[in-house]
Structure 1
Amino acid sequence: MAVHSHNHARTHDGIDWSSQLNARRRADELDAEAHRVVARRLVRTLPDNPTVLDVGCGTGGMSVALVEALSARGGGTVVLVDAVPEMLDAATGSARSAASYETDTTRATVRIRPVLADLATERPAEIAGAAQLVWASNVVHHLPDQRAAVSGLVEAVAPGGWLALAEGGLSGKFLPFDLGVGEPGLQDRLLTARAQWFVRMRENITDAVRMHGGWNVALADAGLVDVTAFSYLIDHPAPAKQAVRDWAVDHLKWYGEAAGDLMHPADRRTVRQLLDPQDPAFLGLRDDVFMLLANTVYLGRKQ
C-alpha cells in the first residue's frame, strides 16, 4: 500500500487520525474483553458463514472480536472499511492474525477483506456488497449528514440482516475528584469542554447537517424494524495496570490538544502538570487513575 502523508489522513472532521494510531491500539487492548462479549452477542443469530461489515474499523479492536466470534461458529467473512490507510493496515494485520487462530476442535476459516473508502462520498453497499451484520462504532457522528450515513449503512444490510450502530453512551471517566493539584472536579469540566468541542467539530464539517433526536429514531426512520439498544461497560478500576495509566495519559493529552482552548487557563495548567513525567502528579504513575465508560449499541433489522 502506498505511503500517505499525514495531511491525507485528515478526514471530514479535521482530525489527524493517523497520529492517534498507538493510542487507539492501547484503547483496543483495554476494550478487548468487552468487545468479545458484544461480538458474540451480535453474531449469535446470524446464518451460517455470514458476511460482517466493520465500518470505520479504526485499528481493528472490534474487527478482531468479530473474527474470533465467527471462527467459533464455523467461519465467515469480515470486511474492514476505513478512510485512513494507517488505521486500515493496522486493523487488517490484527484481524488476519486472529483469523488464523485455531481451537482444539475447530479450524474455522474467516476471510478478511480490507477496503479503503470514505463513507461521506462512497456507499457501503457498492464497496462491500450485502452483509448479514453491519457494525459501525463512533463513525457516523464524524460524517457530514448523519441520517444519510445511516441510510447508506442500512443499504448495505442484506434482507433479514442487522445494523449495529455504536453511538453515545457515557463519556469515559478516569480521574479522582480531587487530584491534589488544581481545582477539584477537573473530570467534570473536561467532559463539559469535550461536549463543546464536539459541537464545534460538527459545525466545522463542510456541509454538516444537524441530526435531531436519538439514534433509535434514526434507525427506525431508515426503515429498520425491531429497533432496540443495549449498553456495555468498560471498567478497569483503580489501582489499574500500566496500560490503563497509559490510556489515561493519551486521553488527557487528547483533551489538551482538542479542547484545550475551551478550558479555563488554570485547568490547562493542571493538565500540563498531569502530563509531565517529571511532575509528582504525573498521571502515568498514579495509583488512583481508572477507566470507566459505557458504550450504547443501537440494533435494527432489515425486513
Structure 2
Amino acid sequence: MGSHTHEHRHGGHGHSHGEHGHTHDGIDWSTRIGYLRREDAVAAEANAGIAERLGGGLAGGATIVDIGSGAGGQAAAFARTLAGRGGGRIVLVDAVPELLDAAGEAVAEALGGGVTGESVIVEKVCVDAASDELLKQVPEADLVWASRVVHHLPDEQAGVDRLARLVNSGGLLALSEGGLATRYLPWDTGVGEPGLQDRLIAARDLWFARMRAEMPGAQRMPYGWGAALSKAGLADVTAFSALIDHPAPAAPAVREAVVEWLTALSERMDEDLSGTDRDAVRALLDPAADTYVGARDDIFLLSAATVYLGRRP
C-alpha cells in the first residue's frame, strides 16, 4: 500500500486470503509480483519509517507477524529494524505461495545473509486471513502488521477481531488502510480533458465498491478503522500517516511504476471511464507518443498511507 494507495481506494496488495493465487477479491496476485516489487521500491523510505516507528520500541527478541506480506517490502524493513535491535523473529503470512517465496527473498536480501541476518529468524505460513486456521498456524506476536489486507476480506470487523487475537498482551496491532489516493499526473496532461487524475480516482472507487459488493459473504463495516480496532478490544487506539513523495522530474523507476499502475487501472476500470478519457489513457500509455507517461518529466508520485494501531491490554 507497500507504496500504499495505488491500485484502488486503499491500495494494491490485499492478498493474504484465498487459494491458488486467487483471493476473496478475485485477483490473481501470483501474476503481480513484479508490480508489487516496484510498488515496494518506490515506498522504501516510507516503509523504513513505519518499521522504525512501530518496531523501534520492541524489546530484543520480539516477534513480528506480517499478514499479507506480498512481495516483502515492509517485512524487509521490519527485519532490518529487528536486526538493529539485536534480533528477533518475523513471520510472513500469505495465502499465495508465490508471494510468500518473493517476500522471503526480499527479507533475505535485506538481511544480507551475514551475521546480522542470523539474528533474525524468518518463518513463512501459507494460510487464509479470513479463516480461523490463521489462529492455529500463526504464533502470537508483539506486533501484528497488515497492510491493505483487511479491506479485501468479506467481513472486515471479523478480520480485525481475528488479527487482534494474534497480539500478545501489551503488543500492537497495526493496520495500513486508507490514506490519500496516489497522484502522479499533472492537471492537464495535454490529451483529452483536464482533471483526468480525479476521474481515474473516481473510477477506481467505483471498481472497489463493486469488488466489495460482489464478494461472496461480504459484510459492510459502516465506521472507520480506528473504531474497528476499539470494537476488537484494543486500547490506546491512534493513527499516523506516512508520506510517499517523489517530486517531478521523477526517477525512471517511478515513471515505470506509474506506467504499470495506469495500465492496470485502465484494464479494470475501462467501463467506468468516458470515451474521451479512455482515449487519453491510451495516449498516455503509448510509447510512441510524445505524451507517454514513461518518458515525461512532469510525472511525480505523491500519496499517504494511514496506519491505525491499538494495543492489546
TM-score range, shorter chain: over 0.9
Does 2:181 match 1:175? no
Does 2:80 match 1:68? yes
Residue 128 of structure 2 corresponds to: 118
Residue 225 of structure 2 corresponds to: 215
Contact 1:232 1:296 in 2 (8 A): yes
Q: Which amino acid is the alignment partner of residue 201 of structure 2?
A: L
How much does 1:21 deviate? 1.2
* Residues 243-262 of structure 1 aligned to structure 2 (within 5 Å): 243-262=253-272
Structure with more contact order per residue of length (Cα contacts < 8 Å, sep ≥ 6): 2
Contact 2:128 2:134 in 1 (8 A): no
How much does 1:259 deviate? 1.2
TM-score (norm 1): 0.94
Give 3-state SS (helix, strand or coil) of 2:177's partner. Answer: strand
CA deviation string 1:116-168 (max 9, x = no partner): 11112244332111100000000000010000000010010011100011000
Identity among equivalent positions (%) equals: 50
Give 3-state SS (helix, strand or coil) of 1:163's partner. Answer: strand
Give 3-state SS (helix, strand or coil) of 1:90's partner. Answer: helix
**Cα distance between partner residues in 1 of 2:194 and 2:59:** 52
How much does 1:219 deviate? 0.1
Q: Which amino acid is the alignment partner of residue 202 of structure 1?
A: R
Q: Which amino acid is the alignment partner of residue 201 of structure 1?
A: M
* Residues 127-138 of structure 1 aligned to structure 2 (within 5 Å): 127-138=137-148
CA deviation string 1:239-276 (max 9, x = no partner): 01000100110110111111111111111111111111
Q: Which amino acid is the alignment partner of residue 194 of structure 2?
A: P
The structure-2 alpha-carbon separation of the partners of 1:107 and 1:210, relative to structure 1 and needing over 3 Å to count, comes to closer
* Residues 1-303 of structure 1 aligned to structure 2 (within 5 Å): 8-100=20-112, 109-303=119-313
Contact 1:35 1:65 in 2 (8 A): yes
TM-score (norm 2): 0.91
How much does 1:59 deviate? 0.3
**Cα distance between partner residues in 1 of 2:97 and 2:132:** 16
Contact 1:53 1:81 in 2 (8 A): yes
Give 3-state SS (helix, strand or coil) of 1:213's partner. Answer: coil
CA deviation string 1:17-45 (max 9, x = no partner): 12221111011111111111110110122
Residue correspondences, number: 295
Q: Which amino acid is the alignment partner of residue 54 of structure 2?
A: L
The structure-2 alpha-carbon separation of the partners of 1:123 and 1:229, relative to structure 1 and needing over 3 Å to count, comes to farther
Give 3-state SS (helix, strand or coil) of 1:79's partner. Answer: strand
Give 3-state SS (helix, strand or coil) of 1:9's partner. Answer: coil
CA RMSD of aligned residues (A): 1.4
Residue 15 of structure 2 corresponds to: none
